[in-house]
Amino acid sequence: MLAREKTHMVHVGDVAIGGGAPVVVQSMTNTPTTDVEATLSQVARLRDAGCDVIRVAVPTRKAVAPFGVICAASPIPVIADVHFDHQIAIDAIRHGAAGVRINPGNIGSLERVDRVAEAAGEAGVPIRIGVNAGSLDPEVASRADLDLPERLAASAVGFVAHLEGQGFSDVVVSAKAHDVPTTIKAYELLSREIPQVPLHLGVTEAGTMLQGTVKSAVGLGTLLSEGIGDTLRVSLTADPEQEVRVGWEIISSLGLRRRGPELVSCPTCGRTQVGLIPIAEEVGRALEGIDAPITVAVMGCVVNGPGEASGADIGVACGKGEGVIFRKGKVERTVPEDQIASALLEEIRAGL
């Protein structure tokens, strides 16, 4: 069995996490929670992009009531993200949160964690225990015999053990770092030490679009390929919709879940005799609005072009100033270079 198949299943609203359920894609709103209209508008866009579960910050007690309105109107389950004030977490649960994310290292005390767990148990919602390097269990943070991944894992394991000792096991755990090797090692340790607990993956503070995508793909992709991880958020200094798109690309590339088309396109070389890059980019932009799990190949020369194009649902193999359009392995037509993108899109729409 894979590690993710051994974890127990929790439910965030109607979304299952763990226990072999499909890997769940999450993101977080970046609108003011007190601006209900703007937040719900962003949630709707994220849902359309493929977000399964959304996290919303509840930074102050004044934000609790608007948060409740968001929960009631959201098209996907909403997790309350709470730091420092345990009463906000309790109030958010009572206002309809489908889950709550806390860091026991900054919530004040284990007694306060217990009060949050009591409210979560009464409401039947899970808690995500999120630890990071800046807010570890103080006793663990001071241990010089442990490296950072070990301190992250030990801190999370200790909090889980405490909650389970209190009779609360509806828990998901994350142990994020901005450093990819640290993140990988921490999650590998968690998977061994608390194999029953679903893991939320992420490389925190990963950076802007390019750097953050690369770091997340390497870190999360490594763990997922090892069978570790039940849910994920790609953390980018970018529009949250991009986090969702990158998350789906990661799990799709590993064959874990598929949403929308896959674009197969060659890197170009000196044999390419058409302007392939703008053609592929145009096709890629058009595919963003399509949900069907089709494969589209845009190939630039005769070396791999005919094989890849004929193996895709829809494809083109380009020659000198023209392209041969394939559908399900059969040649449909040959078109000049300036019609390649539009011809491909016509074939795609015709097949949907």
Domain spans of the chain? 3-253, 262-351
Give buried/exposed letters for 303-327 (b at 16+ CB in 10 A, else e).
eebbebbbebbbbbbbbeebbbbbb
Q: Under a CB-based contact definition with an 8 Å cutoff, are residues 177 and 183 in contact?
A: yes
pLDDT for 133 equals 78
pLDDT for 206 equals 87
Question: pLDDT tens-digit profile of 250-280?
Answer: 999 999 998 888 999 999 899 898 999 999 9
pLDDT for 60 equals 97
Question: pLDDT tens-digit profile of 149-162?
Answer: 999 999 999 999 99
pLDDT for 259 equals 86
Out of 3.20.20.70, 2.40.160.210, 3.40.50.2300, 3.30.413.10, the CATH code matching 262-351 is 3.30.413.10
- The pTM assigned to this predicted structure is 0.92
**For residues 298 and 261, what is the distance between their CA atoms, to the nearest angstrom?**
13
Torsion from C-alpha of 173, 177, 180, 185, nearest 10 degrees: -50
pLDDT for 143 equals 87
**For residues 131 and 152, what is the distance between their CA atoms, to the nearest angstrom?**
7
pLDDT for 349 equals 87
pLDDT < 70 positions in the chain: 352
Topology of the domain covering 3-253: TIM Barrel (3.20.20)
